[in-house]
Amino acid sequence: MKKLVLTGGIVLFSLSHAQIKRGSVYLSGQMEYQHNENNVLNGSRRKDDIVEIIPTAGYFVGSNLAIGLGAGYKSAVSKYEIGYGGASNSHQIKVADNAFVVTPFIRKYWTLSAHLYIFGQLQVPLEFGREKLNSNNDIQDGDPLLSSSFNTKNNYTSIGINIKPGLDYFLSKNWSVEAVIGEFGYNTYKKDVDGAKRVNDYKFGLNLSSVTFGIKYLFTN
């Protein structure tokens, strides 16, 4: 019994000293690329490419409590090739979004072991971008109204608030690998066009099929 109590005391003592100290600074970042292709009926196709690069810096204002900021670039391009029955060739549509992204956040860690932590991150992602839509038509023997080509450009703003849970495993005193699992939150999107309405999006749940990994370097004092 004494050995069990002594062992438990040693474990609790080690966990209490496995905290990330106040004044520590870390550098991290997110690099993401996604590519999807979908084929539908009548020869229509869709391709999506998303690139996101967001460096991140955090400062520990207390033990296991950090505030920080991420800032970077996001590009999303969707290409549609639409086939029409009775018409040759197809209608091509390209929608390109390019945005500057700023994400202030606060992150709280809880110690699971000397090297493993669980965290919850509350963040407010802000996205300021421009959407370009290009419609090129090469349809023959089709409806003239569907055969017109046009180009549009619109600015947009996206604001959200969400919570992201995750795990952080320290490989050494300074290097760690983190995994973000799921997202809980709200996002609103609006184009800078007269009469445009806001589009609201809600995300709730853990998603083990889309875990995001990252590498972090910690500067300790």
pLDDT number for residue 212 = 82
Which range, of 113-127, 183-197, 201-215, averages the lowest pLDDT?
201-215
pLDDT number for residue 174 = 94
- Compute the 3-state secondary structure of the chain and give helix, strand, coil in percent, each to the nearest 5: 10, 65, 25
Q: Do 97 and 152 meet the contact criterion of CB atoms below 8 Å apart?
A: no
Percent of the chain whose pLDDT exceeds 90: 47
Instruction: Decide if pLDDT at 155 tops 70.
Output: yes
DSSP-derived secondary structure for 17-75:
TSSPPTT-EEEEEEEEEEEEEEE-GGG-EEEEEEEEEEEEEEEEEETTEEEEEEEEEEE
Q: Per residue in 3-33, pLDDT tens? A: 443 443 334 334 444 689 999 999 998 888 8
Taking domain 2-35+55-78+99-130+153-219, whether its CATH number is 2.40.160.20 is answered by: yes
CA 108/CA 137 separation, integer angstroms: 52
pLDDT number for residue 81 = 81
What lies within 8 Å, CB to CB, of 130 at 6+ separation is: 97, 98, 99, 153, 154, 155, 156
Both tokens assigned to 101: 């992204």
Question: Any idea what DSSP says for residue 209?
Answer: G
Q: Per residue in 95-112, pLDDT tens? A: 899 999 999 999 999 999
Both tokens assigned to 3: 């050995």
pLDDT number for residue 210 = 66
pLDDT number for residue 63 = 93
What's the full length of the chain, in residues?
221
Write down the mean pLDDT value for the chain: 82
Give strand pairing partners of 158: 127, 189
CA 63/CA 59 separation, integer angstroms: 11
pLDDT number for residue 15 = 45
Mean pLDDT in residue range 166-184? 92
Domain boundaries, the chain: 2-35+55-78+99-130+153-219
Q: Cα–Cα distances in Å, from 151 out to 46, 92, 93, 136, 184? A: 19, 12, 10, 9, 36
Instruction: Decide if pLDDT at 189 tops 80.
Output: yes
Q: Per residue in 44-62, pLDDT tens? A: 788 889 999 999 999 999 9
Reported pTM: 0.74
